Chain A
C-alpha cells in the first residue's frame, strides 16, 4: 500500500459507510469508490473490511440491501440507510466530533 494513503481507523468505517449511504442507495464497490473520491484518494477502504462491515451494519438493522442494476446495466447489491440507520448516523457523527475534539485537545502542546 502506498505510503501516502491512510488506513481507515477501526470504528470509523461504520460512520463513513452510513454517511456515504446518506446520499442514496449504493452498492459495495460504489461505497468504496465514494469514500476514496471524497477523501481525495487518501482513504483506502480494504474490501476485506468493507463487506464484513456492510453485513454487520445490516445485521444491526441500520442498512438494508436489495439486488438492483447499475447505470452500466451490471447486477449489484444496493445498500440503503434505514430510519434506525439515520438515527445511528447522527449518534456516530456527534461521537466522532467529540472524539476529534478530545484528541485534538490532547495533542495540542501544553502552554
Chain B
C-alpha cells in the first residue's frame, strides 16, 4: 500500500476510535439521565484538538504542518489572482532569462567540445616581430616548424597539422557540390581523442605517400549518401580525382569548423619543408596531463629560439603562441556571455526585490492576523516557517514559467548567435541547467520571503492587537531601501546598455570603404583538373563574368579571391623598389578581375583599373590602396614604381609595375583596420578560390537564380556556394555586437519596468499611509498640488538615492566592459547623463498616479474615516 494510503487509513482509524469513545460515553450519560449527544461532546472537549495532538505522536506532524501552510499559501494566492500573476510573471521573467543565458554559457563555455579533456587542447600560432607582419598579431603555422615542434617538444602528447581546403569540388553521383574540407596529419584523431563511427582514419604511411583517401563528416554522409554504410571503399570524385572513402566521423565532429565536411591526408612535399616558408596550416596540440599553458608557452618559445639560431634566414624573427582551444573558439564571446549573465542576474535580483517588497506589503497588511496567530501560541520560528511555506508555491510558478520562457528565448535567440561558436548544436535545457533554474527559483523566493518572515516573527503582540488596521504599517524603511537598490542596479544596466548601443551606433557610421548597395556575392571554386593552367582559369572567370553581365539589372560583375568581411585572410609581405630600405609591408593580397572595383564600389583614385589586356604575357601590374601609397611613397606619385613579393626565403616574384591607386577598405571588420591592400590581376596571379561580386540595380538576392543559371550555362558542373548579399556579410560581422547591445538594452528595459513597478508600489503605499496627514494638511490650507509635491518628492528622493549609488557603481562597471566598447570611453558622458535622466523621468511617471490620488483627498472624508 502506498504511503498516502496508509496515512489515510490511520486518519480514518483515529476518527472511528474517537467516535466510538463518544458513543460509549454518550450511552453511559444517557443511562445516568443526562441529555445524550450534547453531554458526551461536552465531556470529550475539543475533538479537533485531540485529533491534532494525537497526530503529533505519529511523527509526521512537522511535514503535515508544512503542507497545511502550503495549502494556506495556495489559497491566499488563489484569492488574489492578479497579484499572483504579477509575482509569477516577475519571477518567470528573471528566472527564464537567466536560465536561457546560463544554458548558452553551459553549452558554449562549459561543454563546447565533443573531445575528452578539452582543457588540454591548445591551438598553436606563429608570431613575428618582423616589420612585414607587424600588423598580424599571429598567423598560421609553417609545416617545417611543425615537424621541428613534434621532434623537440616534451610538454605535448602530440601536435597535429591541418590545412583547410575551401574548395573540394565534388562531381558525379548527383549535382556538383563544393565542399569545405581539410587535409590533416594522421595524428589529428589521437590529439583530439576521437574515433570514426565507421571505417578508419588514414595512417602515417598513407599521409607520406599522398594516398587519395577521404574521411567524411556524418552530415555529409547523411546528406549525400543517405547514411549508406556501403560507402566505405567506394570512390568519390574530388576536384576531378578519385578518392576512396575509408571512414565516417561522428555527428558532432566538425574540426576545425562547422562547415568542414571531409578530411584527406595532408601530404607535405619535400620542397615545401625545405623552403620553410609556407605558413598556411592550423595546428592543434594536446598537452600532457598536468602541463600548464605558461609551461607549454615557455617550451615553444625556447624551441623557436633554437630554430631561429639554426635557420636564421626563415626563422630569425618567428615565435610561437600557445592558446587554449576554448579561447580560440569563443574569443570575445566569452566576455559577452559573462556580461549577459551578469545583466540577467541583475534583472533577477530586481525581480526578487520586487517580490520581497510585495511580500512585505502583504505581510504588513496581515500584521493583525499574524499577531492573533502569535497570541494563540504560534512561536516565532513557527511563524517564519509559515510565511516561507506560503510563498513557496510562487517558486513553482516562477520556475515553471521561467523554464518555458527560457525554452522560447533559446528558440528565438540561438539562430542569432555567431555560427562559428562551438557547442551551438548542443544548446538546450540540459539537466544541470534545469537544476540551476530550480535552485535559483527556490532561492529567490526564499530570500524574498525571508524579509516578511523576519518581520512577522518580530511582531509586538500587545501593540499590534490594539492598533486599528488603517494605522498598521511596517517595513517602510526596508521597502524604501529595496527600491533604491533596484534603481541603482537598473541604472547600471541602462548605463551598460547605453555604452553598447553607442558603440554599435559609432560602428554603423564607420565607412568600410566599399558599398553594399545592391551587391550580391557568391563563391565559385574552379575544378583544377578541368582547367589545369592559370590562363585557362582566368579565361573561365572572364567568360563567367561576361555571361552574368548579360542579365538585365546587373550593372557590373567581377571576381576577387577573398571577399571583405568573409573572415578569411591572405596576407603577403610586399617590397617596394628603393623604398623602406629594403623592408617589407604586410598587405592584404587580392587577385581580381577588371569588374571587381566598380561592382564593390571601391573607388579608383589614380591611374587605371586592370583590363582584359593584362594577361600572363604582358607586363606584371598591380594596384595599391591609398594607405599603402601614402605610407611608402608619401607625396610622390606611385604610378610607374615597382614592387614585388616574397615567394620563399630567398626567392621573389618578378618586379610588378604599379598602375593604379584604389581607395582603402576595411577587410576584417568595421572595428579593426589592420592592413593596407594590394591588388593583382587574376590573369597574372591566379587563385583557385574566387568570389563573384555582382552589382545589381535592385534587391540583390532576387538575382541569385538568374546568376546561377548563367554560370551553369557556361559549366553545368560548377558548384556555387555561400550566396549572400554584401549587406549580409557586413551584418554578420556585427552579429555579436547587435546581440550584446540588443540583449543588454532589453534586460535594461525589463529592469526599468520592474523597478518602476517597485517604485510605484512603495510610493502609493506610502501615500496611502499618509492619507490622514494629507487630510490634516489640506484642512489647514494646503493645496492639492502641495500634497502632490509631497508624494512626488518621495519618488524623487528614492530615485536620486538609487541613482547616486548606481552612478558610483557605473564607474567600475564601465571599466570592466572596456574591451567590448568601440568609439566610446568607459565613462561615456552621454550614457552617464542619459541613464539617470531616464530613471528620473520614469520615476516621475510612476509617482504621478499616487500623487494625483493623494491630491484628490477630501479632508472631510479622510479625517472622519478613523
A interface with B by C-beta (< 8 Å): 27-30, 46-49, 51-52, 54-56, 59, 70, 72, 74-77
Specify which of A47, A48, A59, A74 is in contact with B58 (CB 8 Å cutoff): A59
Specify which of B13, B23, B50, B59 is in contact with A47 (CB 8 Å cutoff): B50
Specify which of A28, A46, A49, A55 is in contact with B21 (CB 8 Å cutoff): A28
Q: Are B18 and A48 in contact, with the CB atoms below 8 A?
A: no
Please choose the segment from B41-49, B245-253, B372-380 that sits at the chain A interface, where 4 or more of its residues have CB less than 8 A away.
Answer: B41-49
Specify which of B16, B45, B56 is in contact with A46 (CB 8 Å cutoff): B45
Apart from A29-B20, A55-B57: 9 A-B pairs, beta carbons within 8 A: A47-B45, A48-B50, A51-B17, A51-B54, A52-B50, A55-B14, A75-B20, A77-B13, A77-B17
Specify which of B20, B45, B56 is in contact with A76 (CB 8 Å cutoff): B20
User: A72 to chain B: which residues have CB within 8 Å?
Assistant: 24, 27
Q: Are A55 and B54 in contact, with the CB atoms below 8 A?
A: yes
Question: Which residues 575-602 of B have a CB within 8 angstroms of A?
Answer: none
User: A56 to chain B: which residues have CB within 8 Å?
Assistant: 57
Ranked nearest first, the 5 interchain pairs of A and B with the lowest CB-CB distance are A56-B57, A55-B57, A29-B24, A52-B53, A51-B54
User: A28 to chain B: which residues have CB within 8 Å?
Assistant: 17, 21
Q: Is B177 an interface residue (CB 8 A)?
A: no
Q: How far is the CA of A23 from the CA of B24 in the complex (A)?
A: 20
Task: Name 19 A/B residue pairs within 8 A (Cβ), A-sorted.
Answer: A27-B20, A28-B17, A29-B24, A47-B43, A47-B44, A51-B14, A51-B17, A52-B53, A52-B56, A52-B57, A55-B14, A55-B57, A59-B58, A59-B59, A70-B24, A72-B24, A74-B23, A74-B24, A77-B20
Closest CB-CB distance, A57 to chain B, in whole Å? 9
In the complex, the chain A residue whose C-beta lies closest to that of B13 is: A77
Q: How far is the CA of A46 from the CA of B21 in the complex (A)?
A: 13
Q: Is B727 an interface residue (CB 8 A)?
A: no
Q: Are A51 and B20 in contact, with the CB atoms below 8 A?
A: no
Q: How far is the CA of A81 from the CA of B230 in the complex (A)?
A: 81
Q: Are B58 and A55 in contact, with the CB atoms below 8 A?
A: yes
Q: Is B25 an interface residue (CB 8 A)?
A: yes
Specify which of A27, A51, A59, A76 is in contact with B53 (CB 8 Å cutoff): A51
Q: Are A48 and B57 in contact, with the CB atoms below 8 A?
A: no
Q: How far is the CA of A70 from the CA of B53 in the complex (A)?
A: 26
Q: How far is the CA of A100 from the CA of B841 in the complex (A)?
A: 80
Specify which of A30, A46, A74 is in contact with B27 (CB 8 Å cutoff): A74
In the complex, the chain B residue whose C-beta lies closest to that of A30 is: B24
Closest CB-CB distance, B713 to chain A, in whole Å? 93
User: B54 to chain A: which residues have CB within 8 Å?
Assistant: 51-52, 54-55
Given A28-B17, A55-B58, A59-B59; A48-B24 close (CB under 8 Å): no
Interface centre among B16, B50, B57 (most CB of A within 10 A): B57
In the complex, the chain A residue whose C-beta lies closest to that of B43 is: A47
Closest CB-CB distance, A51 to chain B, in whole Å? 5
Closest CB-CB distance, B218 to chain A, in whole Å? 62
Q: Are B57 and A76 in contact, with the CB atoms below 8 A?
A: no
Q: How far is the CA of A74 from the CA of B50 in the complex (A)?
A: 21
Closest CB-CB distance, B39 to chain A, in whole Å? 14
In the complex, the chain B residue whose C-beta lies closest to that of A28 is: B21
Closest CB-CB distance, A108 to chain B, in whole Å? 37
Q: How far is the CA of A51 from the CA of B20 in the complex (A)?
A: 13
Q: How far is the CA of A52 from the CA of B45 in the complex (A)?
A: 14
Q: How far is the CA of A54 from the CA of B21 in the complex (A)?
A: 13
Q: How far is the CA of A48 from the CA of B45 in the complex (A)?
A: 8
In the complex, the chain A residue whose C-beta lies closest to that of B59 is: A59
User: A49 to chain B: which residues have CB within 8 Å?
Assistant: 53
In the complex, the chain A residue whose C-beta lies closest to that of B22 is: A29
Q: How far is the CA of A56 from the CA of B14 in the complex (A)?
A: 13
Q: Mark B532-573, 1 if CB is under 8 A from A, else 0.
A: 000000000000000000000000000000000000000000
In the complex, the chain B residue whose C-beta lies closest to that of A53 is: B57
Question: Which residues 206-230 of B have a CB within 8 angstroms of A?
Answer: none
User: B50 to chain A: which residues have CB within 8 Å?
Assistant: 47-48, 51-52
User: A30 to chain B: which residues have CB within 8 Å?
Assistant: 24
User: B49 to chain A: which residues have CB within 8 Å?
Assistant: 48
Question: Which residues 1-59 of B have a CB within 8 angstroms of A?
Answer: 13-14, 16-18, 20-21, 23-25, 27, 43-46, 49-50, 53-54, 56-59
Question: Which residues 72-93 of B have a CB within 8 angstroms of A?
Answer: none
In the complex, the chain B residue whose C-beta lies closest to that of A70 is: B24
User: B56 to chain A: which residues have CB within 8 Å?
Assistant: 52
Interface centre among A47, A48, A59 (most CB of B within 10 A): A47
Q: How far is the CA of A63 from the CA of B53 in the complex (A)?
A: 19
Q: How far is the CA of A48 from the CA of B18 in the complex (A)?
A: 11
In the complex, the chain B residue whose C-beta lies closest to that of A72 is: B27
User: B43 to chain A: which residues have CB within 8 Å?
Assistant: 47
Q: How far is the CA of A74 from the CA of B17 in the complex (A)?
A: 11
Q: Are B57 and A59 in contact, with the CB atoms below 8 A?
A: yes
Q: How far is the CA of A80 from the CA of B702 in the complex (A)?
A: 94
Q: Are B21 and A47 in contact, with the CB atoms below 8 A?
A: yes
Q: How far is the CA of A77 from the CA of B24 in the complex (A)?
A: 11
Q: Are A29 and B21 in contact, with the CB atoms below 8 A?
A: yes
Q: How far is the CA of A77 from the CA of B23 in the complex (A)?
A: 12
User: A51 to chain B: which residues have CB within 8 Å?
Assistant: 14, 17-18, 50, 53-54
Interface centre among A27, A49, A51, A77 (most CB of B within 10 A): A51
Q: How far is the CA of A51 from the CA of B57 in the complex (A)?
A: 10
Q: How far is the CA of A54 from the CA of B17 in the complex (A)?
A: 12
Q: How far is the CA of A30 from the CA of B25 in the complex (A)?
A: 10
Q: How far is the CA of A55 from the CA of B56 in the complex (A)?
A: 9
Q: How far is the CA of A59 from the CA of B13 in the complex (A)?
A: 15
User: B25 to chain A: which residues have CB within 8 Å?
Assistant: 29
Interface centre among B13, B17, B44, B59 (most CB of A within 10 A): B17
In the complex, the chain B residue whose C-beta lies closest to that of A60 is: B57
Q: Are A76 and B46 in contact, with the CB atoms below 8 A?
A: no
Q: How far is the CA of A47 from the CA of B191 in the complex (A)?
A: 79
Q: How far is the CA of A46 from the CA of B43 in the complex (A)?
A: 9
Q: How far is the CA of A54 from the CA of B54 in the complex (A)?
A: 8
In the complex, the chain B residue whose C-beta lies closest to that of A77 is: B17
User: B17 to chain A: which residues have CB within 8 Å?
Assistant: 28, 51, 76-77
Q: How far is the CA of A72 from the CA of B17 in the complex (A)?
A: 16
Given A55-B54, A59-B57, A59-B59; A48-B27 close (CB under 8 Å): no
Q: Are A76 and B24 in contact, with the CB atoms below 8 A?
A: yes
Closest CB-CB distance, B7 to chain A, in whole Å? 14
Specify which of A27, A54, A55 is in contact with B24 (CB 8 Å cutoff): A27
User: B18 to chain A: which residues have CB within 8 Å?
Assistant: 51
Closest CB-CB distance, A91 to chain B, in whole Å? 20
Q: Are A48 and B21 in contact, with the CB atoms below 8 A?
A: no
Q: Are A76 and B59 in contact, with the CB atoms below 8 A?
A: no
Closest CB-CB distance, A50 to chain B, in whole Å? 8
Q: How far is the CA of A29 from the CA of B18 in the complex (A)?
A: 9
Closest CB-CB distance, B44 to chain A, in whole Å? 5
Q: How far is the CA of A24 from the CA of B16 in the complex (A)?
A: 22
Closest CB-CB distance, A7 to chain B, in whole Å? 14
User: B44 to chain A: which residues have CB within 8 Å?
Assistant: 47
User: A75 to chain B: which residues have CB within 8 Å?
Assistant: 16, 20, 23
User: B13 to chain A: which residues have CB within 8 Å?
Assistant: 77
Interface centre among A48, A70, A75 (most CB of B within 10 A): A48
User: B21 to chain A: which residues have CB within 8 Å?
Assistant: 27-29, 47, 76
